[in-house]
Amino acid sequence: MKKQKVITYPWWLMKLYWLVKNIYFWRILISALFLLSAFAKLYPTPMYGITKVFEQGQLIPMGFSENIAPYFSRFI
């Protein structure tokens, strides 16, 4: 009787396969993003939270114009 060859995969590939197949991981990730979004909306004024911190603090110094920065931040 001929012996069959056993195929082994690298550990990182098996871990990636497990993450893709594990539906609970994706559910927890989506719910965490939803809760983060809800928490961000509790900021005293939503425009202050978005405009001051991200748009004026990071995008405009990176070289985005003041007209394009709001669209880019909402696209992200």
Interval 14-25 mean pLDDT: 84
How much is the pTM?
Answer: 0.40
The answer to whether residue 36 is domain-embedded is yes
**Tens of pLDDT, residues 20-72:** 888 888 899 999 988 887 777 676 565 666 666 777 888 888 898 888 887 78
3-state secondary structure of 39: helix
The answer to whether residue 5 is domain-embedded is no
The answer to whether residue 3 is domain-embedded is no
State which amino acid sits at residue 49.
Answer: G
Above 70 in pLDDT, residue 19?
yes
Query: According to the model, what pLDDT value does residue 50 have?
Result: 61
Query: According to the model, what pLDDT value does residue 45 have?
Result: 60
The answer to whether residue 57 is domain-embedded is yes
Q: Considering its fold, how many domains does the chain have in total?
A: 1
Domain housing 64: 11-75
Q: Are 56 and 49 in contact (CB under 8 A)?
A: no
The answer to whether residue 67 is domain-embedded is yes
